[in-house]
Amino acid sequence: MGGTDAKDILGLPKTPLPLSHEKKARPQKESHRKPDGISREVYALTGGVAPLMPSIDVTHLKRPPPPDEKVAWQWLPIKSSARKDDLQLYHWVRVVNGVPPTADYSFAKYNKSVDISKYTDDEYENHLTDPVWTKEETDQLFELCERFDLRFTLIADRFPLSRTLEELKDRYYTVTRALLRARAQSPADLANHPLMKEPYDMTRDRERKRALSMVLSQSRHQEKKDAEILAEAKRITEMRLAARRATDPDVLGNENIGLDKADGGPGCSVSPSSNSQLPATAVAPSTLTMADYASTLASLRMLHVYLRTYGLEQMVQAASSAVGLRTIKRVEQTLQDLGVNLKPKVPTKTVCDEHLELRKEILTLLNLQKQLQYKESEGSSQREGSYAAMPDTPKDRVFASEPFSFGGISAEKPIKKEPKRKGPGRQADTPSPAHKRPRKLKASDL
């Protein structure tokens, strides 16, 4: 909003280039409409975001004042219960119908202070002596504590003798605890006092602060490493847990809500066990699809009962775990083009087995297509000098050499085309956005 004003002044075009992230930002901004009652610029001052807690009821802002009240503002002296001296201060006061407000100064209620125990000399002699601390020091400490409401950073700063913050804290809490214990009528009273329940530990405090400062000063590199290690550890524990579940039937049993007499399954090392039908594989994506199938089958058997469609889903997922999302989409597109339902309408065992085999074969087909393209582009790029010298991925090179191989290899290709092919010579699939730029260059160069 402020941006368009500036652009107006400078005479720049208002609509930015259609980059995807800008598009995303705009719909997000639309949802933050300014609230009624305050003007746009004022709202923008707050950062354009609604406050976490509404401080003023927005309807109050543009309400006209009630007609029967006569409001005047007067310069009057204030009385505040928070002030102990007799300093007379004045301020503007909203007077309604000639009656000044009688309540205490509105901020007086915030004048809270901490209860610091005060010890007598006797008490000091009996309970509070310490080899390191003299009475004068302790007195001074307590006076500062009172003055500064136990804000130890200030106290440490003002303390005349050089003591660390932790030492001051330690002394204060030890003294207070000793006093509490000495003054308590019965031990039971003490038990619930927070100071007794969790005593101050100086060394722990030091350690804590050191650890915090270390975390704060961690470099980004270190953070990334830590995150990686944690993720790794989590994965390992999950795999271990899955392995334990496979061998230990009791762990399985705990997950069932209904009647359960869990059986020990055949020895399988990694298997996801779940009572619900949500797919949840603990197998890390690997290139061993046969192992994936075997483990999926084993996990299905562990369920003791499942729906055929669920079984097929799991097997398809196992097959897809080794390949990228783009490839999966291409397989599904191929299935659709060939007129096959992505999910069989009559999922009998035979149909599901055939479906799975078909998917595998399509994957092989797509891989072979890719290989062939790559080989061809390799061959043709060696013929064309400068264009092939571009440091592109193999897919880009396919495009680079496409126009030139028109007369070459493509003419040798059989006319029988894959259903996905777009036209003569165009063997590649729908290009992903990453390819758009090199393709455009080529077209314009030609």
Partner 1 sequence: MEDSHVERFSASTPKPRIGIDGGDDNKNWRRRVNGVEVSVPIVCGSIAFFRGKKAKEYRTHNWTVYVRGATNEDLGAVIRKVIFHLHPSFKSPTRVVDSPPFTLSECGWGEFKIDITIFFHADACERKLELSHLLKLNPEIYSGPQSPNVPVVTESYNEIVFPDPFECFLSRVINHPAVHVSKLPEGLNLPPPGDAGDESYYKMKKGDTKDHPLSHWFSKFSEADELFRLTATRQKVQADIAELKRQLVMVDAQPEQF
Give the footprint of partner 1 on this chain (CB under 8 A). Answer: 249, 256, 258-264, 266, 275-277, 300-301, 303-309, 311, 338-341, 344-351, 354-355, 357-358, 361-362, 364-365, 368-369, 371-372, 375-376, 379, 382-383, 408-409, 413-414, 416, 418
Nearer to partner 1, 184 or 294 (CB): 294
State in angstroms the smallest separation of the CB of 15 from partner 1: 40
Q: Which is nearer to partner 1, 178 or 352 (CB)?
A: 352
CA neighbours closer than 13 Å in the CB half-sphere of residue 251:
13
User: CB of 38: closest distance to partner 1 in angstroms?
Assistant: 41
Structure token digits, residue 399: 């495009």
Q: How many CB atoms sit inside 10 A of residue 293's CB?
A: 16
Query: In the complex, what is the shortest distance from the CB of residue 387 to partner 1, in angstroms, rounded to a whole number?
Result: 14
Report which residue type is found at 215.
V
Based on CB atoms, which residue is closest to partner 1, 234 or 383?
383
As measured in angstroms, the least distance from the Cβ of 258 to partner 1 is: 5
Decide whether 132 or 346 has the Cβ nearer to partner 1.
346
CB of 389 to partner 1, least distance (A): 16
Record the tokens describing residue 152, joined without a space: 């130890």
Is residue 301 a contact partner of residue 252, using CB atoms and an 8 Å limit?
Answer: no
Q: How many CB atoms lie within 10 A of CB 302?
A: 20
Which stretches of 205-284 are assigned E, i.e. beta strand? none
Closest approach of Cβ 345 to partner 1, in Å?
6
Integer angstrom CA distances of residue 379 from 397, 405, 407, 417: 11, 10, 14, 22
Nearest to 74 by CA among 59, 90, 85: 90
Question: Taking a C-beta distance cutoff of 8 angstroms, is the pair 128, 183 a contact?
Answer: no
Minimum distance from residue 186 beta carbon to partner 1 (Å): 51
Contact in structure between 281 and 322 (CB atoms under 8 Å): no
Between residues 150 and 300, which has the closer beta carbon with respect to partner 1?
300
Closest among 316, 313, 323 to 287, alpha carbons compared: 323
- DSSP assignment letter at 403: G
Q: Which is nearer to partner 1, 284 or 338 (CB)?
A: 338
Complex with partner 1: residue 176 or 320, whichever CB lies closer = 320
Q: Enter the DSSP assignment of 265.
A: P
